[in-house]
Structure 1
Amino acid sequence: MHSIIAEDLLNQMIPPLKVTDSVEKAARWLDEFHVGQLPVLDDRQYRGLVTESDLLEREGTDQLLGSLPLGYANVHVRRDQHFYNIIELAVQNRLQLVPVLDDQQEYLGVVTVSDTLAAFGKMPISTGQQGIIVLVMEERDYSLSQISRYVEENNAKIMSAHVAQDEHDTYRIRLTLKVNTPNLSRIIATLERFGYSITAQFSGTAEVSENEQERFDALLKYLNI
């Protein structure tokens, strides 16, 4: 099994802020990049994450980020850590992204939950006689009855479904489906034929270790299914 590490998943589209940046700039960037947190650096040193709640009472002021009591200073992974560690940190801290540091503890970038989820979906996981499919779509295109019809056309049924806002686009949603079969290829082919984007899939295709199963269970808890 190929080991995917944090360095493989760096998302260079999400920039860090600096301690010399203003609260106003931080609020603008959170909105522009559709995230709830952004890393803050002092030169190349990671100082913590600034969040929407940090800025609520400070918007419109000239305050600099370096003067804020930033949280999550100890929430990060090394570049060579397995992506399981990213999932664990994201689940424990309810974060959309996790900072990655190099061997000198300098900032390299961030890995987002959605990127990690996509990597996770390529791994064999024991789900028994069930499967899990994660889709992303425009909110206006969401119709569970229509999606259920496509699933049932392939002799399967949706056991549960959970909708959440996409981490990167407020106009898109993430739909996580649990279906009553581990054989997902025909269902996915049908959904893709009708324009749905599949970002991850999980099915019981291999024996996995107890640790891998625990991490997968934590991921399902994060997805609320």
Structure 2
Amino acid sequence: MNINDYILKEIKALTSEDSVSSALQLCEHLPITHIPIVKDNKLIGCFAEDDIQTIENKDTALHEYIHLIQHFHADKKSSLLELISLFAENDCNIIPVLDEKQEYLGYYDLRDILDVFADSPFMHNDNITLIVSKTKADFTISQVAQIVESNKAKLLGLYVSRETVDNVEITLKISSEEMNEIIQTFRRYDYNVISQLEDDMFLEELKDRANYFKKYLDM
């Protein structure tokens, strides 16, 4: 899969000399959050549809409102996860793409990128998702991989899904027929296992002991 195959040119980029009304017409016909603005095939930035809607004088040129422009883009070497991060950080559904000369090539559409991510092995339904957390000072990717692989499982991918001042939360995709040993090993290494799995015997044992203790008190 070559992510560059998903670069689109269906929406024509505007220039700073185009009018506000032309930008509004583009937004009316297409469900886009931002419009790329170029000059001599160089990206100036993007106007957000929300900002364009607030401009009262529709006949003025876009360069009159250059202070509203937002600066973000991807390049041809951007990875799938980098693109997803860019979409989230900029709250947008299109991202301009530049080549190695910083010239405008086109844009990525959020729907296409999410479809590619959904079809990737990382998101395959046959794999198991496990979420664990640990203090930042003690977390290492090499240790996570060692824990998984020492239990004869395959680590297909991971990413930091949440971060606080002191802790990180890691989402893992694992290929394994037996998860209980992996979960117990993470606990022995002082990881907090967040995801709830049906085969987590540790939780079942705790429930059984709690029920037994409750019955004992009720006697």
Give the TM interval when normalised to the shorter protein: 0.5 to 0.7
Q: Greater RCO between the two (CA within 8 Å, min separation 6)?
A: 1
Deviation at 1:53, TM superposition (A): 2.1
Q: Please say which of residues 87-96 and 75-84 is displaced more in the overlay.
A: 75-84
User: Following the alignment from structure 1 to structure 2, what is the Cα–Cα distance between the partners of residues 209 and 36?
Assistant: 31
Q: Please say which of residues 8-17 and 26-35 is displaced more in the overlay.
A: 8-17
Deviation at 1:118, TM superposition (A): 1.1
Taking structure 1 as the reference length, what is the TM-score of the superposition? 0.54
Partner of 1:156: none
Counterpart secondary structure, 2:155 = coil
Contact 2:35/2:49 (CA < 8 Å) preserved in 1?
no
% same residue: 26
| Cα-to-partner distance string for 1:53-102 (whole Å, 9 max, x where unaligned) | 222232443211122124322x1111122122111100111111111001
Taking structure 2 as the reference length, what is the TM-score of the superposition? 0.56
Counterpart secondary structure, 2:122 = coil
User: Following the alignment from structure 1 to structure 2, what is the Cα–Cα distance between the partners of residues 120 and 59?
Assistant: 40
Is 2:69 the partner of 1:71?
Answer: yes
Counterpart secondary structure, 1:209 = strand
Q: Which amino acid aligns with 1:209?
A: G
> Gaps spanning 5+ residues in structure 2: where?
130-153, 163-169, 172-219
Structure with the bigger percentage of helix: 2
Q: Which amino acid aligns with 2:12?
A: P
Q: Where does 1:90-105 land on structure 2 (aligned, <5 Å)?
A: 90-105=87-102
Partner of 2:13: 16
User: Following the alignment from structure 1 to structure 2, what is the Cα–Cα distance between the partners of residues 30 and 78?
Assistant: 24
Deviation at 1:214, TM superposition (A): 4.2
Contact 2:20/2:62 (CA < 8 Å) preserved in 1?
yes
Q: Which amino acid aligns with 2:111?
A: S
> Gaps spanning 5+ residues in structure 1: where?
131-205, 218-225
Of 111, 116, 127, the match for 1:114: 111
Counterpart secondary structure, 2:121 = coil
1:59–1:24 Cα change, 3 Å: farther
| Cα-to-partner distance string for 1:141-200 (whole Å, 9 max, x where unaligned) | xxxxxxxxxxxxxxxxxxxxxxxxxxxxxxxxxxxxxxxxxxxxxxxxxxxxxxxxxxxx
Contact 1:23/1:61 (CA < 8 Å) preserved in 2?
yes
Partner of 2:156: 208
Deviation at 1:35, TM superposition (A): 1.1
Contact 1:27/1:59 (CA < 8 Å) preserved in 2?
no
Rg (Cα) greater in structure:
2
Q: Where does 1:7-86 land on structure 2 (aligned, <5 Å)?
A: 7-68=4-65, 69-73=67-71, 75-86=72-83
1:48–1:95 Cα change, 3 Å: same
Counterpart secondary structure, 1:58 = coil
Counterpart secondary structure, 2:43 = strand
User: Following the alignment from structure 2 to structure 1, what is the Cα–Cα distance between the partners of residues 74 and 68?
Assistant: 18
Counterpart secondary structure, 1:100 = strand
Aligned length: 137
Counterpart secondary structure, 2:95 = strand
